[in-house]
């Protein structure tokens, strides 16, 4: 899994940064891509990236402010022209369905793939045995949600040396054992998964938060997360401004990651007053003073999700 940031600015696009959109690439896990928020110009940023709309499987909208939403109708319309024919599900707060249907309807846009729209107010959104996604309300001017993506534990590695002793080569039997099925081999010997599998590989947890002031649900969603993506709109010297506009500072993002026992913090959603990565340096410094494993998101830069153990 890896992050690809398509926009890291708050409010409006600038020459240096586009507004919010985050791609989570699930290359090995399911050969697909999930998108979190879709600000204006997101499809243009995708054209400048290695991402493919045909791989897009799910979109999660944190809230209905324009800098997180205005790119959605165009992207949905363009997806079919870029080979996207597989079903697509969009999740978001109440009002999302009306926005999509009105935008596509008035423009007479044609969608030739199955488009499902799921409005929610939090809770478990889906669980397919490989991933579970849950959501909770944050503290913003309008309803804004955070998402917690839990990867289920994976079977341990097969003991190939032992399997070779039984004359078993890579193939269907390997798959059965990894799925937890016992198999009969030559001589009538029954091999059970626990006999040939190592310890399970712990699944990763990813938390991606929408715009928010500090609140208990940020810590709840980020509990023991491998990576937390948290807004850091302002440096902490502007904490009063952040509070007034229902946002967080870099220091507050770091405090949330620390309180949650997270492994890594990636900060995004930066105010336009910080023109470039150099001017964002003080935000990174103050975050690291509380939570050393802090990073600044940067557009068109891949950030791998760390493995556990």
Q: Could you report the per-residue pLDDT of 15-49, keeping only the tens digit for each?
A: 999 999 999 999 777 889 999 999 999 999 999 99
pLDDT at residue 185 greater than cutoff 80 = no
Residue 120 is assigned to a ligand binding site = no
Confirm whether residue 230 is marked as ligand binding. no
CA dihedral of 26, 30, 31, 35, whole degrees rounded to 10:
-50
Structure tokens at 149: 């993506």
Cβ atoms of 243 and 170 closer than 8 Å: no
Residue 254 has pLDDT above 90, yes or no: yes
| CA distances (Å), origin 79, targets 37, 197, 262 | 16, 41, 35
pLDDT of residue 115: 96
Coil vs helix vs strand at 56:
strand
Pick from 105-109, 114-118, 161-165: least confident: 161-165
- How close are the terminal C-alpha atoms of the chain, in Å? 15
Would the pLDDT of 104 be above 90? yes
Tokens, residue 15: 């020459």
Of 66, 64, 23, 25, the closest CA to residue 45 belongs to 23
Average pLDDT over residues 248-256: 98
Check if 224 is active-site: no
pLDDT digits (tens, 9 = 90+) for 290-306: 999 999 999 999 999 99
**The two structure tokens encoding residue 38:** 């879709």
The span from the CA of 207 to the CA of 230, in Å, is: 8
- Evaluate the CA torsion angle 100, 105, 110, 112 in order and state its sign: positive
- Which of these is catalytic: 67, 116, 139, 143? 67
Local structure of residue 106 (DSSP, 8 states):
H
C-alpha distances out from residue 290 to 123, 206, 213, 251, Å: 30, 20, 18, 7
Question: Is 211 marked within a binding site?
Answer: yes
What is the average per-residue pLDDT within 192-207? 83
- Distance of alpha carbon 118 from the chain centroid: 17
The answer to whether the annotation marks 65 as part of a ligand binding site is yes
Whether the pLDDT of residue 5 is over 80: the answer is yes
Cβ–Cβ under 8 Å, residues 212 and 144? yes
> Was 269 annotated as part of a binding site?
yes
Is the Cα torsion angle 208, 210, 212, 217 positive or negative in sign?
negative
Q: What is the dihedral of CA 66, 68, 73, 75, to 10 degrees?
A: 140
Largest CA distance in the chain: 75
For all residues of the chain together, what is the average pLDDT?
A: 92
Residue-wise pLDDT for 135-167, tens only, equals 999 999 999 999 999 999 877 777 777 777 777
How do beta strands 183-184 and 190-191 pair? antiparallel
Question: Residue 309's pLDDT is what?
Answer: 60
């Amino acid at each position: 899994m890896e992050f690809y940031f398509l926009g890291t600015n708050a409010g409006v696009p600038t020459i240096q940064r586009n507004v919010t959109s985050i791609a989570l690439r699930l290359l090995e896990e399911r050969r697909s891509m999930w998108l979190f928020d879709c600000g204006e110009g997101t499809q243009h940023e995708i054209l400048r990236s290695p991402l493919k709309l045909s791989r897009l499987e799910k979109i999660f909208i944190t809230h209905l402010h324009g800098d997180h939403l205005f790119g959605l109708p165009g992207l949905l319309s363009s997806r079919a022209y870029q080979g996207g024919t597989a079903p697509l599900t969009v999740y978001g707060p109440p009002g999302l369905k009306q926005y999509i249907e009105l935008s596509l309807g008035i423009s007479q846009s044609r969608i030739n793939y199955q488009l499902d729209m799921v409005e929610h107010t939090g809770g478990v959104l889906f669980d397919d045995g490989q991933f579970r996604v849950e959501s909770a309300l944050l503290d913003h001017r309008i309803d804004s949600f955070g998402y917690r993506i839990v990867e289920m534990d994976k079977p341990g590695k097969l003991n190939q040396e032992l399997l070779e002793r039984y004359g078993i080569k890579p193939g269907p039997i390997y798959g059965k054992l990894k799925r937890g099925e016992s198999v009969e081999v030559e001589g009538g010997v029954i091999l059970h998964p626990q006999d040939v599998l190592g310890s399970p590989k712990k699944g990763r947890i990813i938390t991606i938060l929408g715009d928010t002031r500090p609140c208990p649900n940020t810590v709840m969603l980020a509990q023991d997360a491998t990576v937390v993506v948290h807004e850091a709109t302002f440096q902490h010297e502007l904490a009063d401004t952040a509070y007034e506009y229902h946002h967080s500072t870099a220091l507050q993002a770091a405090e949330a990651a620390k309180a949650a026992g997270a492994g890594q913090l990636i900060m995004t959603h930066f105010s336009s007053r910080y023109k470039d990565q150099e001017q964002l340096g003080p935000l990174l410094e103050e975050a690291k003073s509380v939570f050393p494993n802090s990073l600044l998101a940067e557009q068109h830069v891949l950030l791998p999700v760390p493995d556990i153990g």
